[in-house]
Structure 1
Amino acid sequence: MLSEKKKVTEINQPYVKKQAREQERLQAIAEKHRRGLIRRLTALGITGVAIAVVFTVILVSQWSMLEAKKTERAALETQLEELQAEESRLKQEVQNYNDLDYIAEIARRDYYLTKPGETLFKLPEPTD
């Protein structure tokens, strides 16, 4: 009984063939849509990677420019402090040269000038 093979006959053969053709047509359409989807996703991926690379390059260049500007700013701030100290020293010097006592002291020290009736003695500076 088991060794006996039963034959199955197909019923309504034109209907089955029509259904098979319809199934093949649907599979072809699905394959076409799948290929189109793969192409679109690939193009979208390549575009995304290109945009990411461009933004990365822009970001790195701006970062390096920012670091250069920070370095330049630090150098300029140091220079500004030096110039402000020099300006303060020069203002003090101008103020001193407007003082008659300071001018008299400079004249005695550097040019050995004296007031009338005054004697100036210059002592040697001690050496170590």
Structure 2
Amino acid sequence: MKREKKQEQRGVTPLQNDFTRAAEIEGARKKAHHTRLYRRLAVFGLVVLLTSIWLGSTIYAQSQTIAGKEQQYEEKLVQLEEVEKQQAKLEEQIRLLNDDDYLSKLARKDYFLSDDGEIIFTLPNEDEKSTEDGEE
């Protein structure tokens, strides 16, 4: 219709035969095909964009989780080393406590126990002397 009005304004009368009608129908069909094609491409592009955003966010979240787990792993390794040192000290203490000579020295030193006929004299430690001298 618009085309006919434009052509009438220019003074050109369009031909109304089967060929022109078929050409107009073919042109309209091609235009509709291009419109549908662009719509399909837009939807496909949107799907690709959303999928790439989803994949990117998933990868980012997983990398954050991995970083957190690695930090926890390092903390646990430090704790393990501390526990192993403590275990070694306790094993050494168990070994010493199973030794009778060590037990007798410990009992004499800490609990002022003595053997038969033995007299215990306690002397101030050097550390105690230095702190007493520093206070005066």
TM-score where L is the length of structure 2 = 0.75
Q: What's the offset of the Cα at 1:18?
A: 4.1
1:117 is aligned to 117
2:64 is aligned to 64
Q: Does 1:52 align with 2:52?
A: yes
2:9 is aligned to none
How is 1:27-38 mapped onto 2 (pairs within 5 angstroms)?
Answer: 27-38=27-38
1:42-73 Cα offsets, whole Å, 9 max, x none, are 11011111111211221121111111111111
Moved more, 110-119 or 44-53: 110-119
**Distance in 1, Cα, partners of 2:60 & 2:31:** 43
**Distance in 2, Cα, partners of 1:32 & 1:124:** 107
How is 1:67-78 mapped onto 2 (pairs within 5 angstroms)?
Answer: 67-78=67-78
Give the letter for the 1:61 counterpart. Answer: A
Gaps in structure 1 of 5+ consecutive residues: 1-13
**Distance in 2, Cα, partners of 1:43 & 1:112:** 91
How is 1:1-128 mapped onto 2 (pairs within 5 angstroms)?
Answer: 17-126=17-126, 127-128=129-130
**Distance in 1, Cα, partners of 2:124 & 2:82:** 35
**Distance in 1, Cα, partners of 2:49 & 2:124:** 82
Give the letter for the 1:116 counterpart. Answer: D
Cα RMSD after superposing both structures: 1.8
Normalized per residue, which structure has more helix? 2
Work out the number of aligned pairs and report it: 114
Q: What's the offset of the Cα at 1:91?
A: 0.7
**Distance in 2, Cα, partners of 1:125 & 1:89:** 25
